[in-house]
Structure 1
Amino acid sequence: MGKPSRNSLVAVCAVTLIYLMCVSQAAPPVCERLVHPLDQLAPHHFEGSWALVAGSLNHSPSMEALRRRDSITMYFSNSSEASTLSYTQINRFGDQCQYLRYNISAEGSTFTFDVQSRFSLSMYFLHTSCPDCVVMKWVVKSSRRISTDLYLLSRRREVEQKELEEFRAQLKCYQLPEPVVMDPTKELCPEQPENQPTAAAAPQAEETVAQKT
């Protein structure tokens, strides 16, 4: 057989290049979809209670603190202002419940916690194929740390394995460690505390939040 002509080699290379370009456009990297903040958000979608299913942080002390929690519940509710949400996080430690409440302002795809200038806490919602889940990305900046946190929340206490694997893929995109997966058999705290904290006890809870950053 004769050697292929120069023109035929050029044609083959051109066809190959076009094919590779088409493939790259048709199948973007997985991370591009998994890490892009959602920009079309309906506030009513977040209303109500969510159970933390899994979470990961790139700040080791905070990761250890997450492991010590038996369960975490998060509540979102709309306020009188369209761009503001009310947020309540309830951490359970054994038979004790810790209630943390914040206002969150929304601007585009960025949600900013009002933490009284103690530190900076911004939140973004990321893609998830789970129909009753949300994935939150937190960016925490303070004098003690700068960290990225990812949390998988669901209306259920436990999600399907494929849904958890998708979350693990998101963690890899951010180079975060294997997640802390919450025990779905652990009891959740009630939405409202049985006994309202006294005026003396409230500052102590605020100090606990500050120490975590």
Structure 2
Amino acid sequence: MVLVACAIALACLVSVIQSAPLTCEELLRPLAQPDLRRLEGRWALVAGGLSHLPFLERFRQRDSASVTFYRNTTDSTTSYTPSVRLNNECLYSTYNITLEGDSFTYDGTDKSNLTAGFVHTSCGDCLLMLMNMESGRRQHFYLFSRRRQLEQEEMEEYKAQVGCLNMPPPAVMDPTKELCPEENATARRASSSSAAA
């Protein structure tokens, strides 16, 4: 009888420990250098947290957004193209980045003004990007996924992470709004070479 009572008490203790909320340090744990092959392809923007309220209000005006990572050229460099649908128009830009451990830098930018990295998430097909601008005075925290809509517990985790960054509640994208078509590789190369000229 005592053995049964001890087993029940132990099971209760384990369930309480497992359900304990994560600390902000655990929620904002940097992702070790990501596998660039896993990054490759298209990710839909699910939600965005921004610390600067005027930018958050502008961000809320987007109909949809996505980011496409391209096949990397080395183990530490790759490029990606964000696309934004705003007022039924698609806007594209392309960035080259270099991974440095758990963070990345944008090629050709002042590294003291912008730091960026990936943050760990329990969502298996999600990607979290945290950007610190103006020496950390402004932050952007983007949640991407291969899916357009996440489960409630996945969104709750993200909202808790946004709260840990002391940001206002995030803007959540409408999953019914159409994404921009992926920019084809020829157009991307042409825009990159014209930008370099």
Establish whether TM, by shorter chain, passes 0.5.
yes
Give the secondary structure class of the aligned counterpart of 1:38. Answer: coil
- Which of 31, 53, 62 does residue 60 from structure 1 map onto? 53
> Which whole-Å CA distance do the structure 2 matches of 1:148 and 1:169 have between them?
16
> Which whole-Å CA distance do the structure 2 matches of 1:152 and 1:140 have between them?
18
- Which of 95, 102, 107 does residue 102 from structure 1 map onto? 95
Letter in 1 for 2:130: K
Letter in 2 for 1:133: C
1:37 aligns with 2:30: yes
TM normalised by structure 2 equals 0.78
> Which whole-Å CA distance do the structure 2 matches of 1:29 and 1:133 have between them?
18
Q: What are the Cα deviations for residues 82-137 of structure 1, in whole angstroms up to 9, with x where unaligned?
A: 21110110011122111010100111111112354498332211121111111111
Where do 5+ consecutive residues of structure 1 fail to align? Answer: 1-23, 204-213
Higher Cα Rg, which structure: 1
Q: What are the Cα deviations for residues 14-57 of structure 1, in whole angstroms up to 9, with x where unaligned?
A: xxxxxxxxxx9xx7952121111011421111110000001111
- Name 1:135's counterpart in structure 2: 128
Residues paired across the two proteins, number? 174
- Which of 170, 183, 186 does residue 174 from structure 2 map onto? 183
Letter in 2 for 1:56: G
What percentage of residue pairs aligned between the two structures are identical?
A: 45
> Which whole-Å CA distance do the structure 2 matches of 1:102 and 1:135 have between them?
17
> Which whole-Å CA distance do the structure 1 matches of 2:58 and 2:111 have between them?
19
> What RMSD, in angstroms, separates the aligned Cα atoms of the two structures?
2.8
- Which of 156, 162, 166 does residue 171 from structure 1 map onto? 162
- Name 1:158's counterpart in structure 2: 149
Letter in 2 for 1:166: E
1:111 aligns with 2:111: no
- Higher normalized contact order (CA 8 Å, seq sep 6+, divided by chain length): 2
TM normalised by structure 1 equals 0.73
Q: Indicate conservation of the 8 Å contact 1:34/1:127, yes or no.
A: yes
- Name 1:8's counterpart in structure 2: none
- Name 1:126's counterpart in structure 2: 119
Q: 1:115 to 1:185 in 2, by over 3 A?
A: farther
Letter in 2 for 1:79: N
> Which whole-Å CA distance do the structure 2 matches of 1:30 and 1:62 have between them?
28
Q: Indicate conservation of the 8 Å contact 1:78/1:84, yes or no.
A: no
Give the secondary structure class of the aligned counterpart of 2:94. Answer: strand
Give the secondary structure class of the aligned counterpart of 2:70. Answer: strand
- Name 2:6's counterpart in structure 1: none
Q: Indicate conservation of the 8 Å contact 1:128/1:134, yes or no.
A: yes
Using the TM superposition, give the Cα deviation of residue 70 of structure 1 relative to its aligned residue in structure 2, in angstroms.
Answer: 0.6
